[in-house]
Amino acid sequence: MNSYTIEAGTAQHIGNRPQQNDRTAVFSSASAPGYMLAVLADAVAGGSAASEQMLHTAKLVFDTFRPGDHPTVDQLADVLREIVHETHLVIKMNAVASETEQLCTFVGLILSPHGEAVWAHVGDSRLYRFEKSTCMARTNDASYVEYLVATEKLPLEAARNHRHSKLLLNLLGNSRKEPYVTIGSADKVGPNESFLLCSDGLWCFFTDAELGAAVHKHAQRQASEMLIGKAQERAQGKGDNCSMAIIKLVKPPKEAPPTYTVQKMRRAV
């Protein structure tokens, strides 16, 4: 079993938008003791409905997850794929009923009690993995670009610029295309490692090094307040919704050694 405890928190700021359309949460499940799920969604169209649906579906799927003795990385990745697939279907049905387009990004992370971390993303919300303050990995669109080139027969440059075309949006709820899920993983994660899930209203204002330093050097609340404040400053009145989930792996506190006192026994009467 793992040699760390999990400290997790979420934070949001509306930015300079009329409403908050991002959603983020951290879940545990009675059916999967020792496992943790963190998710974040950024609604691109249709208000917050798509993001709300993602949180609802994520909790339902995770609550029914039965890990058994030791699921593989692929099995954990399938849980994240199921969240994406189920959310995508429901959002499309809701959009038909309401006659409004509903779209959102997705990024999710599962931590197991065996020291594995598995993550997935759709769209431009990001996950960062830090060891102390060094960025060891972060999500990107490299595999999606390869997918577009291989399956859609797009020229490489067109695939790299896929966000500029509504026909190529990789988002949950897109009625024209199924979402492409990119999976990443790490094994033997441990103390002094941390994960950051965030929307583009945060990450677009920071380097990887800046994010890593803030997350490593400060508790979750202080780190989130610092990052949100700096993002608003750098946005210069044009900031997007800003959301994050910070998950830190820390050494469990040492148990105090037992203390004993020895006293001379009195004579029994």
Contacts of 159 (CB under 8 A, 6+ apart): 145, 148, 149, 152
- Can you give 7-20 as a three-state secondary structure string? EEEEEEECCCCCCC
Q: What is the mean pLDDT of residues 186-192?
A: 94
CA angle 63, 245, 42 (to 5 degrees): 85
For residues 12, 15, 17, 20, the Cα torsion angle rounded to the nearest 10 degrees is 0
pLDDT above 90 coverage of the chain, percent: 77
Instruction: Assess contact for 111 and 36: CB atoms under 8 A.
Output: yes
User: 3-class SS at 204?
Assistant: coil
- Per the DSSP assignment, residues forming a β-bridge with 39 are 25, 108
For residues 201, 142, 90, 51, the Cα torsion angle rounded to the nearest 10 degrees is -10
For residues 95, 99, 103, 108, the Cα torsion angle rounded to the nearest 10 degrees is -20
| Cα–Cα distance, 145 to 80 (Å, whole number) | 21
Question: Does the domain made of 5-250 have the CATH classification 3.30.70.3270?
Answer: no
Q: What is the mean pLDDT of residues 125-143?
A: 94
| Cα–Cα distance, 21 to 67 (Å, whole number) | 32
Classify strands 36-45 and 117-122 as parallel, antiparallel or unpaired: unpaired
Q: What is the mean pLDDT of residues 147-164?
A: 80
**Tens-digit pLDDT profile for residues 196-242:** 999 999 999 999 999 999 999 999 999 999 999 999 999 999 999 99
| Cα–Cα distance, 264 to 266 (Å, whole number) | 6
Average pLDDT of the chain, as a whole number: 91
Question: Helix H segments across the chain?
Answer: 49-63, 73-98, 142-151, 156-160, 200-203, 208-217, 220-235
Looking at beta carbons, which pairs linking 91-94 to residues 24 or more positions away fall under 8 Å?
91/49, 91/50, 91/53, 91/172, 91/173, 92/173, 92/175, 94/49, 94/53
Q: What is the mean pLDDT of residues 16-26?
A: 97
pLDDT above 70 coverage of the chain, percent: 91
